[in-house]
Chains A and B, each alone.
Chain A
């Protein structure tokens, strides 16, 4: 899928007779952030996680009638990437169909926060939801179709469903590499599928809820010098997971657990295994515009996984604690301490971040 085709389709849609008579609507949101990071108490040679220290996340939306063009461009000291670029059709009040590059819906954290640092309480995200170019272990960016829908059930409860299918990342010596709309190369990428179902007792605008997640990906491996399986050419990854969010009063608690089923294959043999990853985060609003947070990340059988050997920065366990201060409207300062155990070592880090949103 080329960006030019998406832009052509967007132009045809936004100017189509179906949108005639509706006003043009647009939105531009900038979310800059900057952080100072220090690591200490390091053990083992490779312990520091790659970071983006200064970044500006730019979101734009153009809408006319039922059609919407949405994009997210992230510029940082590390990269400049078109992270999301989607053309949407509001099929009904409760259903939107998107095509383009999207964040896969089985990541609860990324579905809620995307790349906007200001909108997440902590500085870092759970490692299981980390972006591919920052050492993440699970595919996050896909190019294809995403359908999001909601239904009223059991009286005032809300059932939310999201299903997606698109070109998944490949695995190279740099880790997972998603399909890049700006530099397209679909030669190796295979199609992956994701589904998320959740129930929200408080209705359509309620955050509290619980749900199930599922994904299936085939991830070709390209150019690996020392793969965990000789002759490795692809990894099949299937995920089953569950999550829950409780948000009421001053408290918010969210938890996710994935069980991953891996199958690494060469032309002559396959190796199977499984591992689990998850986290629980609790946040509490405090007086004086402060929010305290604590997150516990854990894994199971990570050390036995051949798939995780492809990701040397895999965090198998981490404790995170911090305090956020919203000192003025749409600006915050956050202090965070982490104690991290990777597959090969251990370190602690302290982060101080400024984040903001300008609309």
Chain B
């Protein structure tokens, strides 16, 4: 999801994967800023399975490789949902993910893609 004033209307799965591997993703010339929501363990599982499509250890290695090859920056990691919401409000180019229940009816946030449902 993104702030309501974000230039992002939609992101395909490849772009989402690239973004959270720390690689540059631009929309209308603006570089998007990924925020990794680490507020609960199940979200971590969803992140590895449905966003970056790799294991924890492989993801860690890909981040190290990206930094070493001057290609990538590790996504900012936030441990509380409130911090994610605040960061989204503060940055129109930020992109993150959270449970639908945490989005609620917040008019300042916009869902651009549903990653997983049970």
A226 at interface by CB-CB < 8 Å: no
Q: Determine the main DSSP class of B at the interface with A.
A: mixed
Q: In the complex, how many angstroms separate the beta carbon of B15 from the nearest chain A beta carbon?
A: 9
> Cβ of B68 and Cβ of A113 under 8 Å apart?
yes
A111: B residues at CB distance < 8 A:
69
* B53: nearest chain-A partner, CB-CB: A205
Please report the C-alpha to C-alpha distance between residue A359 and residue B23 in the assembled complex, in whole angstroms. Answer: 17
B49: A residues at CB distance < 8 A:
none
> Cβ of B67 and Cβ of A88 under 8 Å apart?
no
5 contacts between A and B (CB under 8 A): A22-B93, A27-B74, A29-B68, A66-B31, A118-B64
Q: In chain A, residues 158-205, which have Cβ atoms closer than 8 Å to a Cβ of chain B?
A: 203-205
B21: A residues at CB distance < 8 A:
205
Please report the C-alpha to C-alpha distance between residue A205 and residue B93 in the assembled complex, in whole angstroms. Answer: 23
A116 at interface by CB-CB < 8 Å: yes
Please report the C-alpha to C-alpha distance between residue A90 and residue B93 in the assembled complex, in whole angstroms. Answer: 16
Q: In chain B, residues 53-104, which have Cβ atoms closer than 8 Å to a Cβ of chain A?
A: 57, 60-61, 63-65, 67-70, 73-74, 76, 91, 93
B112 at interface by CB-CB < 8 Å: no
Q: How many A residues face the partner with a CB closer than 8 A?
A: 34
* B93: nearest chain-A partner, CB-CB: A22
Please report the C-alpha to C-alpha distance between residue A8 and residue B55 in the assembled complex, in whole angstroms. Answer: 41
A59-B68, A66-B31 are known; give 7 further A-B pairs, CB within 8 A. A27-B74, A29-B64, A86-B70, A113-B68, A116-B68, A329-B57, A330-B64
Q: In the complex, how many angstroms separate the beta carbon of B21 from the nearest chain A beta carbon?
A: 7
> Cβ of A359 and Cβ of B69 under 8 Å apart?
no
Task: Give the 10 A-B CB pairs with smallest separation, nearest first.
Answer: A93-B26, A70-B70, A29-B67, A116-B68, A25-B73, A357-B64, A27-B73, A90-B24, A27-B67, A114-B68
> Cβ of B60 and Cβ of A329 under 8 Å apart?
yes
B18 at interface by CB-CB < 8 Å: yes
Q: In the complex, how many angstroms separate the beta carbon of A12 from the nearest chain B beta carbon?
A: 19
Q: In chain B, residues 21-46, which have Cβ atoms closer than 8 Å to a Cβ of chain A?
A: 21, 23-26, 31, 33
Please report the C-alpha to C-alpha distance between residue A114 and residue B65 in the assembled complex, in whole angstroms. Answer: 10
Please report the C-alpha to C-alpha distance between residue A305 and residue B74 in the assembled complex, in whole angstroms. Answer: 46
> Cβ of B31 and Cβ of A203 under 8 Å apart?
no
Q: In chain A, residues 116-163, which have Cβ atoms closer than 8 Å to a Cβ of chain B?
A: 116, 118-119
Please report the C-alpha to C-alpha distance between residue A92 and residue B29 in the assembled complex, in whole angstroms. Answer: 8
Please report the C-alpha to C-alpha distance between residue A92 and residue B67 in the assembled complex, in whole angstroms. Answer: 19
Please report the C-alpha to C-alpha distance between residue A340 and residue B68 in the assembled complex, in whole angstroms. Answer: 29
B70: A residues at CB distance < 8 A:
61, 68, 70, 84, 86, 88, 98
B18: A residues at CB distance < 8 A:
204-205
B76: A residues at CB distance < 8 A:
25
B110: A residues at CB distance < 8 A:
none
> Cβ of B67 and Cβ of A59 under 8 Å apart?
yes
> Cβ of B31 and Cβ of A23 under 8 Å apart?
no
A112 at interface by CB-CB < 8 Å: yes
Q: In the complex, how many angstroms separate the beta carbon of A285 from the nearest chain B beta carbon?
A: 11
> Cβ of B67 and Cβ of A61 under 8 Å apart?
yes
Interface size grouping (class) on chain B = 20 to 34
> Cβ of A204 and Cβ of B69 under 8 Å apart?
no
Please report the C-alpha to C-alpha distance between residue A98 and residue B64 in the assembled complex, in whole angstroms. Answer: 20
Q: In chain A, residues 220-277, which have Cβ atoms closer than 8 Å to a Cβ of chain B?
A: none
Q: In the complex, how many angstroms separate the beta carbon of A95 from the nearest chain B beta carbon?
A: 10
**Residue picked from B31, B69, B70, most chain A C-beta under 10 Å:** B70
Please report the C-alpha to C-alpha distance between residue A92 and residue B30 in the assembled complex, in whole angstroms. Answer: 10
A65 at interface by CB-CB < 8 Å: yes
B114 at interface by CB-CB < 8 Å: no
* A86: nearest chain-B partner, CB-CB: B70
Please report the C-alpha to C-alpha distance between residue A59 and residue B67 in the assembled complex, in whole angstroms. Answer: 8
Contacts A93-B25, A114-B69; A23 near B33 (Cβ below 8 A): yes
Please report the C-alpha to C-alpha distance between residue A119 and residue B68 in the assembled complex, in whole angstroms. Answer: 9
Contacts A22-B31, A23-B91, A61-B73; A119 near B65 (Cβ below 8 A): yes
A59: B residues at CB distance < 8 A:
67-68
Please report the C-alpha to C-alpha distance between residue A340 and residue B39 in the assembled complex, in whole angstroms. Answer: 52
A63 at interface by CB-CB < 8 Å: yes
Please report the C-alpha to C-alpha distance between residue A63 and residue B76 in the assembled complex, in whole angstroms. Answer: 13
> Cβ of B64 and Cβ of A205 under 8 Å apart?
no
Please report the C-alpha to C-alpha distance between residue A93 and residue B15 in the assembled complex, in whole angstroms. Answer: 11
Identify which of B23, B64, B74 contacts A119 (C-beta below 8 A).
Answer: B64
Please report the C-alpha to C-alpha distance between residue A88 and residue B21 in the assembled complex, in whole angstroms. Answer: 19
